[in-house]
Amino acid sequence: MVPKGYCINLLNTLWTRDKSWIDATVVNHERIHTAQQKELLFLPFYLVYVLEWLVRIAITRDWQKAYRSISFEREAYANAKNHDYLATRRMYAQWRGREKSMDKNAIGLGKE
């Protein structure tokens, strides 16, 4: 069961306990994840996602910082409010320009 206040995108299907909080920005965030999943042929997306999350948990010792620093999430959060983003998105955008989009404080590497 999906925790309240969360949405999970599995194979282009959104799962949530309560959809009242889902707005156009959340839908766009999840559409970005769908584009990421398709270009990685779904299964590799999930494998890379989980592996990256586990590595980042080991680095940060904070599951929320680890989650927000996953490359897929950084791209989706950075572009969720841009509803035209998918029309111009380049393939593998989650790994392009990482230096610019990487918030070192979000992954626990910045000054506290």
Q: For the residues 21-37, what does the mean pLDDT come to?
A: 97
Q: What is the mean pLDDT of the chain?
A: 89
- Please state the pTM of the whole predicted model: 0.85
Q: Long-range pairs for 8-15 at CB < 8 Å and ≥24 separation?
A: 9/33, 9/34, 9/37, 11/37, 11/42, 12/37, 12/38
pLDDT digits (tens, 9 = 90+) for 66-90: 999 999 999 999 999 999 999 999 9
**Orientation of helix 43-60 relative to helix 71-79, angle to 10°:** 100
Residue 98 confidence (pLDDT): 55
